[in-house]
Amino acid sequence: MLYYLFDYLDKHFNIPGAGVFQYISFRALGATVLSLFIAATWGKSIINLLRRKQMGESIRDLGLAGQLEKAGTPTMGGFIILASLLIPVLLFAKLSNVYIVLLIITAIWTGGIGFLDDYLKKFKNNKDGLAGRFKIVGQVGLGLIVGITLSFNDNVKIRVYDQPLLSSNLGEVQRYHDIIHPTITTIPFIKNNEFDYKTLLFGWLPEEYTWVIYTIIAIFIITAISNGANITDGIDGLAAGVSGIIALTLGVLAYLSGNTKFSQYLNIMYIPNSGELVIFCAAFIGACVGFLWYNAYPAQVFMGDTGSLMLGGVIAVVALAIRKEWLIPVMCGIFIVENASVILQVSYFKYTKRKYGEGRRIFLMSPLHHHYQKKGIHEAKIVTRFWIVGIILAILTLATLKLR
């Protein structure tokens, strides 16, 4: 909203300084600062409100050190993240941008699914919360919206320059043509790192139905990453910290993909208007860091599914929007490993129970962070080490811009 206000003031009244809102870097900085401010100032009030509503977390005794001490800690703190994310985005971003609209829908949609789960647990005394099949239906519905929008919206395009710029001549303007409704994406570690979904089934599927394949992939990615973030949210500060690191990585990729000069210099696809996602990522980082003020060990509030499902859903959709979804196995490696640890543990237990009559385990406990807790490592140290791994994965993700 502020973008349109200051753009109007600049064009019609030539007010000094109003033109600064044209710069993505300035609006991203403003979104980050405001997001941190909202989380810091409103966070305590939201926590007190959750306490008054008796939104304390019920803790099952799993034999983990310090676990029972967390009983009664307010949950549904995801509202802190949602407020400190959406308000700066609404103020600083271009609300006519298709990617921004899609991400606002994503944040509200996934936050709503998580809220229903938390609401049923706390107010309806349903310890299982929202049934898994309904969560999947919600995630599939969002995947359909994202996949169809990115496949058919006329504002979703890739710009191809007729002659690439030389790194020594960044100021040169080149002729170009736009690919509307693109079916290509980025694939890491390969020269000219592009992959066309039209070739996925070796041409068996008619080109006009490529969107079906893409939408199925979008559904899978959104479901996997939102659930991965949900599973990762098991100890103080883990999910918020890891999500902040991933968001910073996505912000850098969005800036490079939305900048003509840098995209050509790095030989990556230029996606017009995707630079606006930097503002969203900046607000997202601020929201995660601001939430950590209250969620770092010992946590004063838990994000609940309201926050964790939203974090994963937003990360997945940003990656899809900038055509970097095949970088997710590297960038979101922690979410994927946490998810895989649960799948492996349950599958192996069931298999050994059928074969030997007694279930056996691969890990002391799943998800993976609980395995390390069972080994006697303090949760604050586990979180710090996971953050370090997240930073390494982020560096490796960015290195794929040159490692081909």
- Residues 197-224: pLDDT tens digits? 988 877 677 888 899 999 999 999 999 9
Mean predicted confidence (pLDDT) in 9-19: 79
Band of residue 20 on the pLDDT scale cut at 50, 70, 90: confident
Mean predicted confidence (pLDDT) in 248-262: 95
* Least confident span in 316-320, 343-347, 355-359: 355-359
pLDDT score for 334:
97
% of the chain exceeding 90 in pLDDT = 64
pTM of the prediction?
Answer: 0.93
Band of residue 97 on the pLDDT scale cut at 50, 70, 90: very high
pLDDT score for 54:
66
pLDDT score for 234:
85
Band of residue 66 on the pLDDT scale cut at 50, 70, 90: low
Instruction: Assess whether pLDDT exceeds 60 at residue 241.
Output: yes
Instruction: Assess whether pLDDT exceeds 60 at residue 167.
Output: no
* Least confident span in 25-39, 107-121, 192-206: 192-206
Tens-digit pLDDT profile for residues 372-393: 999 999 999 999 999 999 999 9
Q: State whether residue 384 is helix, strand or coil.
A: helix
Band of residue 171 on the pLDDT scale cut at 50, 70, 90: low
Q: What does the alpha-carbon distance between residue 314 and residue 296 come to, in Å, rounded to a whole number? A: 22
Mean predicted confidence (pLDDT) in 134-150: 96
Instruction: Assess whether pLDDT exceeds 50 at residue 242.
Output: yes
Average pLDDT of every residue of the chain: 89
Q: Pairing state of beta strands 194-196 and 176-180?
A: unpaired
Tens-digit pLDDT profile for residues 310-343: 999 999 999 999 999 999 999 999 999 999 999 9
Q: What does the alpha-carbon distance between residue 376 and residue 370 come to, in Å, rounded to a whole number? A: 10
Buried b or exposed e, range 230-258, using 16+ CB within 10 angstroms: bbbbbbbbbbbbbbbbbbbbbbbbbbbbb
In order, the DSSP letters of 37-99 are: HHHHHHHHHHHHHHHHTT-BPP----S-TT-GGGTT-B--THHHHHHHHHHHHHHHS-TT-HH
Spatial neighbors of 214 by CB under 8 A, at least 6 apart, are 147, 150, 151, 183, 197
Output 9 or 343, whichever has higher pLDDT.
Answer: 343
Tens-digit pLDDT profile for residues 273-291: 999 999 999 999 999 999 9
Band of residue 192 on the pLDDT scale cut at 50, 70, 90: confident
Band of residue 172 on the pLDDT scale cut at 50, 70, 90: low
